[in-house]
Amino acid sequence: MATYTPTRMVLNQLKARLRTARRGHKLLKDKRDELMRNFMDIIKRNRDLRNEVETGLTEAFAAFSSAGAVMSLDFMEQALMYPRSKVKLEVSRKNIMGVTVPAYGFDMQSENGADVLPYGFAQTSGDLDDAIAKLSEVFKSMLALAEIEKTMQMLAKEIEMTRRRVNALEYSTIPELEDAIKYISMKLSENENSTKVRLMKVKDMVLQKAHDFQY
């Protein structure tokens, strides 16, 4: 514990610090609890999105495999070599309990309003169409999953920092301030009692002298 001068001014300063520490402790606990609530909601959403992405990718890869069974690999590569659509990724920010997390979005643009498929239908398999369609559908979920996982990382870091601050206040700062206030209060009380005793002795001496003087 730090050494404090046992004066009334120091005592008042420590009491003010203790009030601030307790108020900060409550606010940080409330923040930690709210962050944990958001974190648990995001975990559930992350689980659902991950299952959705894994299912979508499995279906898309199965469709690609089926297309590869009836089309040559070289022809598939040539069919997919020149895409007609472009994806514009949009990145913004949002705030969750003081934590700035990313928000992803995308805008798909086709050249001259062309279809998303970069090839004609005459020499390609319908399975290839299904594979590309499924990949297009799952892309939005993949982007949302990336956003969710990044948000989880940032919230987990903030929760850990907040937890450490709460523990530091609860188990270190606040008890030290309480002990210091108790120590200074005790010292001031002892000093006041000693002063009273000295004053009483002085009073007795004065009265004694006055009494002796009267005789």
Tens place of pLDDT per residue across the chain (215 aa): 567 788 889 999 999 999 999 999 999 999 999 999 999 999 999 999 999 999 988 888 888 787 777 666 666 666 566 566 677 788 889 998 889 998 888 777 665 544 555 554 445 566 777 777 787 788 888 889 999 999 999 999 999 999 999 999 999 999 999 999 999 988 888 877 677 777 777 776 776 776 665 44
Tokens 């006041």 sit at which residue? 192
Q: What's the total number of domains in the chain?
A: 1
> What is the reported pLDDT for 74?
64
What is the largest distance, in Å, between two alpha-carbon atoms of the chain? 137
Element (H, E) at 94: strand 85-96
CB 83 within 8 A of CB 109: no
CA–CA gap between residue 180 and residue 146 (Å, rounded)? 50
CA–CA gap between residue 193 and residue 212 (Å, rounded)? 28
Domain membership flag for residue 2: no
CA–CA gap between residue 75 and residue 120 (Å, rounded)? 12
- Containing domain of residue 159, as a range? 8-204
Domain membership flag for residue 150: yes
Domain holding 39: CATH number?
1.10.287.3240
Domain membership flag for residue 76: yes
Domain membership flag for residue 1: no
CA–CA gap between residue 100 and residue 83 (Å, rounded)? 35
> What is the reported pLDDT for 4?
78
Domain membership flag for residue 209: no
> What is the reported pLDDT for 172?
93
Domain membership flag for residue 101: yes
Domain membership flag for residue 198: yes
> What is the reported pLDDT for 122?
46
Domain membership flag for residue 210: no
